[in-house]
Structure 1
């Protein structure tokens, strides 16, 4: 899961090492400033950047952390999105969790949509909430938000886990929410594109990827070149230097699937092609998400820095495509 798992100062270590092919994208940039974040999401607004991530456990109410940047390279801490969790969270979970997890930012028209997860570690008593902002100001990213309550929930006995949300607005004008972790894997529901809530006319729960109860989470989708690409994280998150997270990808002709990897293995049967894994000081890369940066598609993810005792750090990378149409990332920063 892009598990908004304890983003405390000293959590973890990253792992990277992806492929390169075709003309290849540029090297991944060296980021500076305050980079401590977990399960990051990035939104470009008027040439400036806002990032949000999992809250610190039992600090500032465990609310979402915020970073800002004027150029996407040097980042500054911008505090939290409030100091109290929305009222629906404790009602849904039966208790207030230590923190909120795995936010995702997207825009449609002038409205910014923020989805986030609330859960208890290791359980699927969970919920995905939504907040909206009619005019997000990157200079004041904590201002202007209205919480819209729960969008989707899960409970003990359900076959899915309602965490790790990601919204995609497709070229046909529709909107979709991907989510899931462990259990039966990655799921998809259609949204009402304007309200951001589930679309009343389509109650189908689509299945995109599964490892038979194993670790697959942090779903993110990209529409490109006639395909939909599904990015996920495999294996162990949130264990600092012992993390084994790595980023995998598959693709499909329709957003609802079926998704397969480079070798044609269905992602519903554990398939996935590795995009980024641990390398050097960069341990356990994952919690990834696609975002638009100017005219290019980029990926943002966290890793655990071996030189900083496993502290989770922010990294971004432009997405390139090889001759066969598969995504590749540039060389890692030193």
Structure 2
């Protein structure tokens, strides 16, 4: 009888362990990609943080992309320090991995989006080496009312590359890139995809209100879905981040929310917001793995002093084709 009770206890303990939530690793502005069965997560941090996982539950820290700050970035952006690089975007095309990243001084639009490439993400491979291509676009105070951070590469139906980006100021922008992705296509055309009301008295050196950033465009079922984040990140327990979405038949827009309001006019259908367990959630990306869609984002953990953690949730779509988080953040 005693042996039976011990066996039962072991079974219960094993089941409990199996049902435990995956470990919550530190992350900010996470993006995800899979190579040869291994997932790689890139995020904001010193030199761009990198983690790897075989199952999206157990994660291993990898070496950062940059051991030291790119020399061009230190010269181009006064106030950039400590090799702290923001909001990467990872994609694969024609034999190369493309990693866009943001160089900026907090609260200013003195910013650049850079690009690095690699033939593999496996740090143990002999051909593993990040090659920095330098700046792709730059925002300049006194010239631009937009902010060159938070890049996301997307290709249209013809395969042409476009870069969405932006934070605060005049909102989310879109520009077509050259085939090698190292700069805007000619002639340059800069489009606004989404914005929020902003005090017109504010200058280009003040972000102020109009809290919108972190675009990610995902194509599904004949639509381009523009996900973006409203309100305020990076404030721990005071964070109010939330994710919204609009969609368009054309990559260049106009993007409308579920009520038919244009995102360029402040519209946006809520996807997910914070609660008592997560103060704020946002800066998301969306992926399809093995015929299932996933929402990847960071949240400010109420059980850990509002520290930023990686979250991955299953994403489904309602009868009208709007995204629904299958398991809401609890």
Shift of 1:298: 2.1
Q: What aligned pairs does 1:72-91 form with structure 2 within 5 A after superposition?
A: 72-91=56-75
Q: Which residue of structure 2 aligns with residue 299 of structure 1?
A: 295
Structure-2 residue corresponding to 1:243 = 239
Partner of 1:264: 260
Show the counterpart of 1:149: 134
Residue 131 of structure 1, aligned match among 95, 116, 129: 116
Offset, 1:81: 1.8
TM-score (normalised: structure 2): 0.86
Residue of structure 2 equivalent to 1:331: 327
Name the counterpart of 1:167.
153
Distance (Å, rounded) in 2 between the aligned partners of 1:47 and 1:172: 28
What is the match of residue 313 of structure 1? 309
For residues 137 and 244 of structure 1, what CA distance do their matches in structure 2 show?
36
Structure whose CA Rg is larger:
2
Q: What is the Cα deviation at residue 171 of structure 1?
A: 3.4
Match of 2:44 in 1: 54
Quickly say closer, same or farther: Cα 1:227–1:285, change in 2 above 3 A. Answer: same
Task: Name the SS of the counterpart of 2:90 in structure 1.
Answer: strand
Q: Which position in structure 2 is the counterpart of 1:8? A: none
Matches within 5 A, 1:37-48: 37-48=27-38
Q: Between the two structures, name the one with larger relative contact order (CA 8 Å, sep ≥ 6).
A: 1
Which has more helix, going by share of residues? Answer: 2
Distance 1:292 1:212, change over 3 A: same
Q: Is the 8 A contact 1:250 1:259 kept in 2?
A: yes
Shift of 1:51: 0.5
Structure 1 match to 2:197: 212
C-alpha change, 1:30 and 1:125, in structure 2 (3 Å) is farther
- The CA deviation at 1:292 is 3.3
CA separation in 2, counterparts of 1:281 and 1:141?
Answer: 44
1:94 aligns with 2:78: yes
Specify whether residues 72 and 141 from structure 1 end up closer, same or farther in structure 2 by C-alpha distance, changes over 3 A only: farther
Moved over 6 A (4+): none
Q: How many residues align?
A: 299
RMSD, matched Cα: 2.0
Q: Deviations over 1:71-129 (max 9, x none)?
A: 11221222422321111111111343341100010111221000000101110000000
Unmatched runs of 5 consecutive residues or more in structure 1: 1-28, 56-61
Three-state SS of the structure 2 residue aligned to 1:181 is coil
TM-score by length of 1: 0.85
Unpaired stretches in structure 2, ≥5 consecutive residues: 1-18, 199-209
Q: Is the 8 A contact 1:43 1:292 kept in 2?
A: no
Deviation at 1:290, TM superposition (A): 1.9
Q: Report the Cα distance in structure 2 between the residues aligned to 1:83 and 1:316, rounded to whole angstroms.
A: 28
Once the two structures are TM-superposed, the CA of residue 65 in structure 1 deviates from its matched residue by 0.8
Q: Secondary structure at the match of 2:117?
A: strand
Q: Which moved more, 1:230-239 or 1:278-287?
A: 278-287
